[in-house]
Chains A and B, each alone.
Chain A
Amino acid sequence: MSSTSHEVAQGPHHSGGAAPSALSAHSIVKRFPGVLANDNVNFDINAGEVHTLLGENGAGKSTLAAMLCGLYQPDSGYILRNGERISLPSPRAGLQHGIAMVHQHFKLVERFSVAENVVLGSRDLNFRIDRNTIDEKVAAVAESYGLPIDPTAVVGELSVGQRQRVEIVKALYQGAEILLLDEPTAVLVPAEVEKLFENVRAMTAAGKSIVFISHKLGEVVEISDRVTVLRNGQVTGHVTGKGSANTKELAKLMVGRDIDLAPQRASHPIGHEILQIRDVSLTLNGVDVLSNISFNVHAGEMVGIAGVAGNGQRELADTIAGLISPTSGSVSIGGAMSTDKGPIHARELGLAYVPEDRLGVGLVPSMSILDNLLLTRDRDFVVDRASLQPEASRLIDQYEIKANGPEHVARKLSGGNAQKVLLARELSGGRTATKLLVVCSPTRGLDVGAIETVRRVLDDARSAGQAILLISEDLDEILSLSDRVFVIYRGAIVHETPGETADLATVGAAMAGLSSTTSEGHN
């Protein structure tokens, strides 16, 4: 490791040399009540390297990362930094050793400027803060890693990708040598992912180490120098050397079987119209969020809505679910008007809804899985928990939810498993037989095995004659499942095309606002 950072960054790292790893963890054990999250895990990373942690939902990736940065303490095992034993009682201690984590939920003060966020908590800051000085310093650090950013911008007004960049700049500003990125791409659109990867390459070229966590196997293959696979808290596999693994192999290493994510379309003729949206417009706080949206979804059909987050899709879904009343226009489900009648009415008409915000709108974080399931079941005065027990257990098995059983509190589930609980509840039917299913980003944060399960369940629901509206930023998902694809941009449908012939580039351009009008759809 004595060579210059540039040489380190090229080619594979110098393993087998005498130099110690930049960071290594040995025999790490971490137990949570009822789960062994990390079971004797060994992990190491060298300077200038991207080392990926791969594994199913609940495998223990986030837990391991949290221990490497000082957020959690291991029950046993030890951590070495450049060969020397260190203890990390807090994230601050982690930072002092040059280890920083970029959380999936950004730790940024939205009201602060970029520069204020970056310098917050850094110890070399003078008592008096001079805006110009910190702006210049922050801009200089950002620039030196090729991460240009406006230090005076208010973080609350930045896009998700830009915020992530602020997080990275903040870590670098504080002298981080090792960056832990926990599912950084889950919230990014493809173009932003490309940007992030450029940044990652610039950082490794400068000798930084990146611990990368992702469920997207294509990305993992593209960016990793090494991959470590975790399963049920144990290390079950290694792949070394850039580009030496393919996605199929990785998937098999992860879930222990072959994964099939081939496109699926409606196999039965579609039925009558279930969801009818007529000229729906929505103005919130003086801003036009939705303008003149009209379309239908038929029984046995899946319609996909693609769009970059923040273009009105969330509000559209909430409008259909009865959570928002449109300013004008109407929504009907199964031929009955549901506008202005509230969410319970919509559900009684046969709606099932998987919102984007799982632990806010979707689930009650402090309640158990069972109680969360109960929310959409009977609305009798006396709650009958006992009779739901078997079904809850069955769903936990069917969706392979990693939990201690139906009484596991939702908040303590891993990200992907929380999503599975929500899907299980909505897809398994509530009080009324489901006619219309509205799902937002159903597979965000799920591992490939779970994605396969979810896709199969969605396809089964379609075959059973349900009308499905799939709203997602994941173009792959939209294109490989939908019978018809719409693109939403600034609250309007700007593009429509049949799913089978949809073209990634055209749809992508429409998402970015580059298409002029509706095209090929009406042939």
Chain B
Amino acid sequence: MNDNIWILAIANSVTLATTLMFGSLGALFTERAGVLNLGVEGVLLSSAISSFLAADASGSVWVGLAVGAIVGALLTCIHAGLAVILRANQIVSGLALVIFGTGLANFLGKPAEGKDVVTKLKPITFGPLTDIPILGPVLFKHDIITYLAIALAIGASWYLFRSRPGLELRATGDDPATVDAQGLSVANIRIRYTVFGGLLMGLGGSWLMLAQSAAWHQSATTNGIGWIALALVVFAGWRPMRLIFGAVLFGFTLQLPFTLQAEQIDAISADYTKMLPYVATLVALVALSRPSRVNALGAPRALGTPFVRDER
């Protein structure tokens, strides 16, 4: 068996994990505040095409990434408004966001369909470090945004469990009435983290476009990664550190069919291996709809429940 291809596979998994990490980190912050945002897929798509257009027009990847992130934040503002301020059903509002985001991407991307990504984000080179066998390609051959994703996840873990705002965030997701009684604004906290979550998702979508894709294709760019990101949060038990490993694992299964094909291993049909991450996602999403079950996994207690003060 060719060792190189498996090392490459692992390196690829880390790369593929980047969008997943942004998407699921965004969802994690949102959900920790008690808001369920099922609209990740729509946000990823819209921010991907926005970043593509912005990068193309400006000739700068950074402008592209920034625009994509901002579009992500703006889109989730809609969800925050509906879910937090108007206390709409969060599942319905999230699904609406998927449809809206997909439609928006379709609208913006029509003229660009099939166009190549010219302004691309390049990996950082670490000189000799990159050439270390095995470790080199796995650890030292990514672009800055991938490292940022990992740093963010580690930072998020510290923030959640070791900082004052993190304590307040977790409390808001678990027991908003208690936070309210302390004089903190539940709505404020929820909106803030929902929009921040959208910003992260937007960055993930932009990165997927500008670092990963050869060309813009409405139907093929995100490929359901937004849904996988949601599932990942459940598997990670709402903990950022576990999310890093989960993202790499999902990244690995995502690229597995291609590696197997390259290796000409066909004991299992590629159709099945391709299905794997999506089946796992389905399972997690079903679990997400059963509060009693996800509670045991560590889900925020008030996840998906609008907060109303005077209810007794």
Residues of A within 8 A of B (CB): 71, 90-93, 95, 103, 105, 107-112, 116-117, 119-121, 125-129, 359, 365, 411
Please indicate the chain A residues that have their CB under 8 angstroms from the CB of B167 in the complex.
112, 116, 119-120, 129
Between A and B, 28 residue pairs with Cβ closer than 8 Å are A71-B181, A91-B181, A91-B182, A91-B183, A92-B184, A107-B175, A107-B177, A107-B182, A108-B178, A109-B171, A109-B178, A110-B174, A112-B167, A112-B171, A116-B167, A119-B167, A120-B167, A120-B168, A120-B171, A120-B182, A121-B179, A121-B182, A121-B184, A126-B164, A127-B165, A128-B164, A129-B164, A411-B311
B179 near A120 with CB under 8 A, answer yes
Please indicate the chain B residues that have their CB under 8 angstroms from the CB of A107 in the complex.
175, 177-178, 181-182
| Cβ-based interface call for B312 (8 A) | yes
Question: Would A110 and B183 be within 8 Å (CB), given that A120-B167, A129-B164 are in contact?
Answer: no
Chain A minimum-CB-distance residue to B174: A109
Please indicate the chain A residues that have their CB under 8 angstroms from the CB of B184 in the complex.
92, 121
In the complex, what's the smallest C-beta–C-beta distance from B26 to chain A, in angstroms?
A: 22
Looking at the complex, which one of B163, B182, B183 makes contact with A129 (CB distance below 8 Å)?
B163
Please indicate the chain B residues that have their CB under 8 angstroms from the CB of A108 in the complex.
175, 178
Give bound CA distance, A356 to B20, whole Å. 46
| Cβ-based interface call for B290 (8 A) | no
13 more contacts with CB within 8 A, not counting A110-B174, A127-B164, are A71-B181, A93-B183, A95-B183, A103-B181, A107-B181, A110-B301, A112-B174, A120-B178, A120-B179, A121-B179, A121-B183, A121-B184, A129-B162
Residues of B within 8 A of A (CB): 162-168, 170-171, 174-175, 177-184, 301, 311-312
In the complex, what's the smallest C-beta–C-beta distance from A128 to chain B, in angstroms?
A: 6
Please indicate the chain A residues that have their CB under 8 angstroms from the CB of B175 in the complex.
107-110
Please indicate the chain B residues that have their CB under 8 angstroms from the CB of A116 in the complex.
167
Give bound CA distance, A109 to B162, whole Å. 17
In the complex, what's the smallest C-beta–C-beta distance from A31 to chain B, in angstroms?
A: 15
In the complex, what's the smallest C-beta–C-beta distance from A37 to chain B, in angstroms?
A: 13
Question: Would A127 and B163 be within 8 Å (CB), given that A112-B171, A411-B311, A411-B312 are in contact?
Answer: yes
Which secondary structure characterizes the binding site on chain A? loop
Give bound CA distance, A117 to B168, whole Å. 10
B162 near A111 with CB under 8 A, answer no
Chain B minimum-CB-distance residue to A101: B181
Give bound CA distance, A95 to B182, whole Å. 8
Question: Would A121 and B174 be within 8 Å (CB), given that A91-B181, A128-B162 are in contact?
Answer: no
Give bound CA distance, A106 to B183, whole Å. 15
Please indicate the chain A residues that have their CB under 8 angstroms from the CB of B182 in the complex.
91-92, 107, 120-121
Which 7 residue pairs are nearest across A and B when measured between Cβ atoms?
A92-B183, A121-B182, A107-B178, A107-B181, A109-B175, A125-B164, A109-B171
Give bound CA distance, A502 to B178, whole Å. 42
Please indicate the chain B residues that have their CB under 8 angstroms from the CB of A109 in the complex.
170-171, 174-175, 178
Please indicate the chain A residues that have their CB under 8 angstroms from the CB of B170 in the complex.
109, 111-112
Chain B minimum-CB-distance residue to A414: B312
In the complex, what's the smallest C-beta–C-beta distance from A509 to chain B, in angstroms?
A: 36
Give bound CA distance, A126 to B167, whole Å. 12
Q: Which of B165, B181, B183 has the most CB of A within 10 A?
A: B181
Chain A minimum-CB-distance residue to B296: A285
Chain A minimum-CB-distance residue to B162: A129
Give bound CA distance, A369 to B183, whole Å. 33
In the complex, what's the smallest C-beta–C-beta distance from B308 to chain A, in angstroms?
A: 11
Give bound CA distance, A144 to B162, whole Å. 27
Give bound CA distance, A107 to B175, whole Å. 8
Give bound CA distance, A90 to B178, whole Å. 14
Give bound CA distance, A93 to B182, whole Å. 10
Please indicate the chain A residues that have their CB under 8 angstroms from the CB of B311 in the complex.
365, 411
Please indicate the chain B residues that have their CB under 8 angstroms from the CB of A91 in the complex.
180-183
In the complex, what's the smallest C-beta–C-beta distance from B154 to chain A, in angstroms?
A: 15
Give bound CA distance, A128 to B163, whole Å. 4
Give bound CA distance, A117 to B312, whole Å. 21
Give bound CA distance, A105 to B312, whole Å. 9
Give bound CA distance, A108 to B301, whole Å. 13
In the complex, what's the smallest C-beta–C-beta distance from A402 to chain B, in angstroms?
A: 15
Give bound CA distance, A92 to B181, whole Å. 7
In the complex, what's the smallest C-beta–C-beta distance from B307 to chain A, in angstroms?
A: 13
